[in-house]
Amino acid sequence: MDPVAFGRRVFVLGATAATLAASAPRPVAAPVRDPFTLGVASGDPTPDGVVLWTRLAPDPLAPDGLGGMPDRTVPVGWEIAEDERFGRVVQRGVVDAVPDSAHTVHVEAVGLAPGRAYFYRFRAAGALSPAGRTRTAPAPGALTAVTTCVASCANYPVGWFTAYRRLAEDEPDLVLHLGDYQYEYPTPERSVRPVAGPETTGLAGYRQRYAQYRTDPDLQAAHAVAPWLVVWDDHEVVDNWAGQATERGYPERRIAAFQAYYEHMPLRRTSVPHGLDLQLYRRIEWGALATFHLMDTRQYRSDQACGDGMRVDCAARFDPSRSLPGAAQEQWLLAGFRSTRVRWDVLGQQVFFAERARASDEAYAMDTWDGYVASRDRITAGFADVRNALVLTGDVHSHWANELVRDGRVVGTELVSSSITSGADGDAATDHPDLRRNPHLRFRSNRRGYVRARYAADRVTADFRVVDAVTTPGAPVRTAASFVIPDRQPGLNRV
Ligand code: FE
Ligand code: CA
């Protein structure tokens, strides 16, 4: 893929005024291709700062994963402005892009004003990046409403990223990505566009894969519209990995996947991986309105006591020693519930939280919270410490709206976001046998899309946004269903 094809400017390095003015014909310095083929991103806002991200990659699909960059450090300038035209620049600086990090850049800006939008861009090798819009979190006491979009499961070859485009057009203040940001597989039989390279197993492959995803203009638009809060699921490493898995190329594969993930996400340096470990679970405070508890539901799981059977009922799922987030993360979450004072405590995580008895064979999916019943119960018991508990979920490639029930009472609400493309077009069905068996599961759609949710002091309004096709480009978006969750009244009110 030729970066020039993206229709952006091509810059000439070394063609100074002097060389251009020289009268004698002489070879002009070789044109250097635009290094900003992967766009820009931002993430993890605080009241006074945010992470800014870019990567230099004039040849994004280079098989060595290095993006066509030379093996040397390149200085990258960055600037933050109050206005889209960069007339009122409030901060600027220079950061080194180094070969060891595939020339990715993470700037942790500080000293910004709370609760406002900013614009940012980068400069390197004579080129200017596209601009991104970002936002700081509100001041600690503020109850300002916020519009968020939740996305999950974007498989590049199986569909166009139209849902990312529509998400960007909704202009949310904040985007949550709940994992399966990329898929490790080679190009599948049914695809609308190829992925470069074989299944990703090493650092070069993962880096090349992330770079290819980031060349997508719809994904770039979604990153450029708002700061993202990211957590991963399985495919950032390999299908259904969890805990201390040892098969399929571990530990080298996990180390490589973790490094490439950090490099390509707008994360803080607290998430720099150390070998087999990457600290991903964290909290983002949104004034007095909301706290986003971002969870890592892969790295610390108890071993899968029921093997890899996805629908095997198994007594081990009740074992109180089993934990899906792991004991330390569970304690961290429950301690967070005890100290919170906000309206909405929101769990950003990946796997289906509500109990879901399967109509087909009365079995449960062991890869979800149904495989860790005691662990889930400890968390829903903790909901008693918060004013409103909301769980955000991805993974299942369909929209669901669920009420979370404990001791016969609704104690929380779960919004499950469909995929961006995984599962291709899906179908128009909204019925599902599991809805009848589980009356607390209230809505389902098998279209691709995302969940738009507006948090206000007195309610959350959730819109299940769908596109009817991803195997053809340009589908419009519509709202398949909307629900209101009033303050202090957990559960779903269809509107
Ligand atoms: Fe997925
Ligand atoms: Ca998944």
Tell me: do 89 and 165 sit in the same domain: no
Distance 397 CA to ligand 1 centre (A): 6
Q: Residue 32: its pLDDT value, please? A: 61
Residue 321 counted as domain residue: yes
Structure tokens at 90: 């409030």
DSSP 109: E
Which ligand is in closest contact with the Cα of 423? 1
Q: Are residues 161 and 15 in the same domain?
A: no
CA 72–ligand 2 middle distance (angstroms) = 37
Q: Are residues 155 and 27 in the same domain?
A: no
The arithmetic mean of pLDDT across residues 91-112, rounded, is: 98
427 in the same domain as 488? yes
CA of 371 to the centre of ligand 1 (A): 18
The per-residue pLDDT of the chain, averaged, comes to 91
**173 and 107 assigned to the same domain:** no
487 C-alpha to ligand 1 centroid (Å): 31
468: CA distance to ligand 1 center in Å? 18
Give yes or no: residues 24 and 155 share one domain. Answer: no
Cα(459)–Cα(454) distance, integer angstroms: 8
> What does the pLDDT look like over 131-167, one tens digit per residue?
999 999 999 999 999 999 999 999 999 999 999 999 9
CA 395 to ligand 1 center in whole angstroms:
5
402, pLDDT greater than 80: yes
Span 420-442, pLDDT tens digits = 999 999 999 889 989 999 999 99
- Domain membership of residue 211 (yes or no) is no
Torsional sign, CA 338, 340, 341, 343? negative
- pLDDT over threshold 70, residue 491: yes
Residue 221 included in any domain: no
Compute the distance from residue 234 Cα to the ligand 2 centre, in Å: 5
CATH number of residue 412's parent domain: 3.60.21.70
Sorted by sequence, the CB contacts under 8 Å of residue 23 that are 6+ apart come out as: none
Distance 418 CA to ligand 1 centre (A): 9
Cα(243) to centroid of ligand 2, in Å? 14
Task: Tell me how far the alpha carbon of residue 69 lies from the centroid of ligand 2, in angstroms.
Answer: 32
How does pLDDT run across 262-275, given as a tens digit for each residue? 999 999 999 999 98
CATH number for position 25: 2.60.40.380
Say how many Å lie between the CA of residue 107 and the centre of ligand 1.
29
The ligand placed nearest to the CA atom of residue 418 is 1
**In a domain? residue 403:** yes
Q: Is residue 195 part of a domain?
A: no
153-162, 218-227, 234-243, 420-429: least confident range: 234-243
pLDDT tens per residue across span 346-369: 999 999 999 998 865 567 877 899
Residue 239 located in a structural domain: no
83 Cα–ligand 2 center, Å: 38
Cα 158 to ligand 1 centroid, rounded to whole Å? 12
Give pTM, 2 decimals. 0.92
**Cα 233 to averaged position of ligand 2 atoms, centre (Å):** 5
Q: Ligand 2 is a single-atom ion; what residues have CB below 5 A from it?
A: 180, 233-234, 395
Q: Are residues 396 and 335 in the same domain?
A: yes
Find the ligand nearest to 237 CA: 2
Checking if the pLDDT of 121 tops 70, the result is yes
pLDDT at position 18: 36
Alpha helices by DSSP H, listed for 203-267, are 203-214, 217-225, 252-264
How many domains, in total, are found in the chain? 2
How many CA atoms within 13 Å lie on the side-chain side of 299? Answer: 22
Instruction: Please report the pLDDT score of residue 364 as a whole number.
Output: 80
Tell me if 263 is assigned to some domain: no
| Per-residue model confidence (pLDDT) at position 326 | 95
Q: What is the pLDDT of residues 363-377, one digit of tens each?
A: 787 789 998 999 999
442 and 423 in one domain?
Answer: yes
CA distance 251 to 270: 21
Determine the distance separating the centroid of ligand 2 and the alpha carbon of 365, expressed in angstroms. 13
For tokens 């269809």, name the residue.
494
Residues 164 and 76 in one domain: no
Question: Cβ of 445: how many Cβ atoms within 10 Å?
Answer: 23
pLDDT bracket for residue 243 (50, 70, 90): confident
Please give the distance, rounded to the nearest whole angstrom, from the Cα atom of residue 152 to the centre of ligand 2.
9
Give the pLDDT band of residue 395 (cuts 50, 70, 90). Answer: very high
Query: 461 CA to middle of ligand 2, Å?
Result: 26
Q: What's the 235 CA to ligand 1 centre distance in angstroms?
A: 7
84 CA to centre of ligand 1 in angstroms: 35
Q: Confirm whether 208 is domain-assigned.
A: no
Same domain, 108 and 171: no
Distances from the Cα of 340 to the Cα of 108, 115, 310, 458, angstroms:
26, 20, 35, 17
**Interatomic CA distance for residues 182 and 237, integer angstroms:** 9
Task: Give the pairing type, strands 74-81 and 117-124.
Answer: antiparallel
Task: Compute, in angstroms, the gap from residue 237 CA to the centroid of ligand 1.
Answer: 12
Strand 104-109 versus strand 49-55 pairing type: antiparallel
Instruction: Give the domain-ending residue among 116, 135, 154.
Output: 135
For residue 239, the ligand closest to its alpha carbon is 2
Shared-domain flag, residues 349 and 446: yes
Q: How many A from CA of 239 to the centre of ligand 2?
A: 7
Our CA angle for 309, 155, 395, nearest 5°, is: 40
**d(CA 34, ligand 2 centre) in Å:** 34
How far, in Å, is the centroid of ligand 2 from the Cα of 378? Answer: 23
Give me ligand 1 centre to Cα 288, in Å.
33
Tell me the residue range of the domain where 406 lies.
146-179+280-494
Q: Measured in angstroms, how far is the CA atom of residue 143 from the centroid of ligand 1?
A: 34
pLDDT at 17 over 60: no
Same domain, 330 and 459: yes
pLDDT at 40 over 60: yes
Give the ligand with the smallest distance to the CA of 152: 1
